[in-house]
Structure formats: structure tokens, C-alpha cells
Amino acid sequence: METTQIVALALVVVAVVIYRQMRPRPVARPVGLIIAAVMVLAGLSGGGLVDAGHASLSIAVLVAELLVAAGLGVLRAMTTRVWRDQHGVAWAQGGVPTLVAWVGSIAVRVAMMALTSFLGLASSQSSVLLFVGVTLGVQFLVVARRANALPIGPASGIQTAR
């Protein structure tokens, strides 16, 4: 894929994911995890993640990007409201803090791309797909873990967690 196609794909996926996260959704549906896995696989198969001319620095930057992606996923997961309905089904919904965290995530990713360029490393747009996949996957897993930790209360009560 060409650079513009990869960036467009990543932006479309992020827009759809953000839209979905702003709506109440059952946590048990693994759609988010499937999307994340596809993005990670696409990023890994795209190649060019390591600049052969600066392998050590390039690997260090890639590891830092993945750690930041994971951290941002945790941050967004913690801004997501998680609750159980009267039937014990776990639900999740993002709000304004989640949207703000998404904007911050995008800004951090752009800054990391600028840093890569500043360091003189050859950049691969596959790293965008990998970053998006990792951050989405971690967010999904943390939200699922939070939902699983909610007690299953009596049918008349709703359990919530922020």
C-alpha cells in the first residue's frame, strides 16, 4: 500500500472506532480486538519498521512507540465508563474524556512521527498501523478486564465503574 492509502486506512479505522466508543456497547463483543489484531498484522506485514542504516536507534524508537501506544490505550480505557445492566451484561461507553484522550493520542503519534524524521530515521507508514493496532488492542483488553472485575449484582441493581 502507498503512504496515503495507509494513513487514510488508519484514519478511517480510528474514526469508526471513536464513533463506536462513544455509543454504549456490550463489552463481550470482540469487534475491537479483531480490528486491533488486523491492524497489528497489517503493520507487521507492511515491513520497513526498522531502518537498516540505523538499526539500534530505529529499534529503540519502535519499542518506545509501542510502549507509548500501550500507555495511551490504558489511559483511554480508564476514561471509559463500564457498567453491568440489570441482566448482568457488561457495557462500556466513552465520553468527553475518552474523546480528549483520543485527540491526545493522535497528537502524540504525530509528534512521534516528527521525532523519527528529526532523528533522520527512514519512516515506515506500517508503523502507523502497528501503533493503532496496539493502542486499540490494549484499550479493549483493559476495558474488558475492568468489566470482568465488576460484581454481578442483584437483578434490580446496576453496577458501575468509572
Contact 18, 102 (CB under 8 A): yes
pTM of the model: 0.87
CA separation for the pair 131, 128 (Å, rounded): 5
What is the SS3 assignment for 150? coil
Smallest CA-to-CA distance from 17 within 104, 85, 81, 76 is with 76
Q: How far apart are the first and last CA of the chain?
A: 40
Query: What is the pLDDT, as a whole number, of residue 155?
Result: 47
**Residues recorded for the chain:** 162
Smallest CA-to-CA distance from 48 within 131, 117, 124 is with 124
More confidently predicted of 94 and 121: 94
| C-alpha cell of residue 36 | 486491533
CA separation for the pair 91, 99 (Å, rounded): 18
Contact 6, 46 (CB under 8 A): yes
Question: Torsions phi, psi of 91, nearest 5?
Answer: -125, 160
More confidently predicted of 60 and 125: 60
Q: What is the mean pLDDT of residues 93-105?
A: 95
Query: What is the pLDDT, as a whole number, of residue 98?
Result: 96
Query: What is the pLDDT, as a whole number, of residue 66?
Result: 95
What's the maximum distance between 2 C-alpha atoms anywhere in the chain? 63
- DSSP symbol at 54: G
Query: What is the pLDDT, as a whole number, of residue 159?
Result: 52
More confidently predicted of 126 and 73: 73
Q: Which of 3-7, 35-39, 52-56 is the most confident on average? A: 35-39
Query: What is the pLDDT, as a whole number, of residue 162?
Result: 59
Q: Which residue has the cell 463489552?
A: 27
